[in-house]
Chain A
Amino acid sequence: MHKVNDLIKLLELELIAGEGGLENTISGVYIGDLLSWVMAHLQAGNIWITIQTHVNILAVALLADASCIIIPEYAEIDSQTIEKANYEGIPLLRSKFSAYQLAIKIKELDLII
């Protein structure tokens, strides 16, 4: 089983916040931006890729027990979101790639069993 730490190294992600959760085990990927929809579908252990960056994403990630959040395409992240991710220990990661490209890379690297 891979950890968030491995994901960061292999995908060259930028660690924005939430160092406390780097040992979280990853399983599955979910991509979505409409928070009410994501709440109903995000699974425990999922890597969640979303372009939403306001503090509510932490509430959704916590609720579903997601392993980490990846913000694609270098989107700017609210300072409140960063504070909350640190406080809750949910890794908040960022990439230059789009959600689609990230998903492909995760598949190619065989990160998800």
Chain B
Amino acid sequence: MKELALHILDIAQNSIAAKATSIKIEILEDLQLDRLEILIEDNGKGMAEEELVRALDPFYTSRKTRRVGLGLSLFQAAAEQCDGGLVLQSHKGTGTVVKATFKHSHIDRAPLGNITDSLITLIQADPNIDYLYTHQYNDKKIYFDTKEIKNILKEVEITNIEVLVWLREYIDSELKELVK
């Protein structure tokens, strides 16, 4: 994939397929350590040990034997190609954590790309799923929590088109301010 934002979208879609109601997406950029970390954590149904092994095997593609597609393998390859790696942790019933690390300055590291688009696509998909997004760039940090936003919105749905337009602008401007 050309952008890491697309990997994030793909992995979070696995979480949705796993019936998660709360998904945490965390990005950490540390230029001093030359490190980029992406973490996606959900409270979905999780995977048992043997499912976990298969999840990273690109040749197990049958939807009958596994829920997730090629996404995890591709994400892992992208990270390993940049002197990093991917760690997958999961327990049946409690959820899954995917953590990918990259050497920030690696020439083959894909750009983060359009994070806003990925987040909006996810939020739009199901108003009942909550997202906590945090993004740290050196010592600056932004976060946004759909739970907080829903509290403010009260009976207005977060998937309301005007809300989404506002959210898009809000996330965009926060990100621009962060990576300046």
Judge: A and B partners, yes or no: yes
- A residues contacting B by CB (< 8 A) are 34-36, 39, 51-54, 56, 60, 78
Inter-chain contact total with CB atoms closer than 8 Å: 17
Q: Do B2 and A53 have beta carbons less than 8 Å apart?
A: yes
Instruction: Please give, as numbers and ranges, the residues of chain A lying within 8 Å of B111 by CB-CB distance.
Output: 54, 78
**Minimal Cβ-Cβ distance residue in B for A53:** B2
Interface residue? B178 (CB, 8 A): no
Q: Do A54 and B110 have beta carbons less than 8 Å apart?
A: yes
Q: How far is the CB of B81 from chain A (nearest CB, A)?
A: 8
Interface residue? B126 (CB, 8 A): no
Q: 10 A-B pairs, CB-CB below 8 angstroms?
A: A34-B108, A35-B107, A35-B108, A51-B2, A53-B2, A54-B2, A54-B110, A54-B111, A60-B107, A78-B111
Task: Please indicate which of the listed interface residues B106, B108, B110 has the most CB atoms of chain A within 10 Å of its own CB.
Answer: B108
Taking CB atoms and an 8 Å cut-off, the chain B residues in 110-145 that contact chain A are 110-111
Q: Do B2 and A39 have beta carbons less than 8 Å apart?
A: no
CA of A105 to CA of B155, assembled, Å: 59
Determine which of A39, A51, A53, A78 lies in contact with B107 in the assembled complex, contact meaning CB atoms within 8 Å: A39
How many residues on B have C-beta within 8 angstroms of the other chain's C-beta atoms? 7
Instruction: Please give, as numbers and ranges, the residues of chain B lying within 8 Å of A35 by CB-CB distance.
Output: 107-108
Q: How far is the CB of A57 from chain B (nearest CB, A)?
A: 10
Interchain residue pairs A-B with the least CB separation, the first 5: A35-B107, A54-B111, A36-B107, A36-B108, A35-B108
Instruction: Please give, as numbers and ranges, the residues of chain B lying within 8 Å of A39 by CB-CB distance.
Output: 107
Beyond contacts A34-B108, A35-B107, A36-B107: 14 other A-B pairs, Cβ-Cβ < 8 A, are: A34-B81, A35-B108, A36-B106, A36-B108, A39-B107, A51-B2, A52-B2, A53-B2, A54-B2, A54-B110, A54-B111, A56-B107, A60-B107, A78-B111
CA of A78 to CA of B114, assembled, Å: 11
CA of A56 to CA of B2, assembled, Å: 13
CA of A58 to CA of B4, assembled, Å: 20
Q: How far is the CB of B65 from chain A (nearest CB, A)?
A: 31
CA of A36 to CA of B108, assembled, Å: 6
CA of A35 to CA of B106, assembled, Å: 10
Q: How far is the CB of B103 from chain A (nearest CB, A)?
A: 11
- Map CB proximity to A onto B39-70 as digits: 1 under 8 Å, 0 otherwise: 00000000000000000000000000000000
Task: Please indicate which of the listed interface residues A39, A51, A56 has the most CB atoms of chain B within 10 Å of its own CB.
Answer: A56
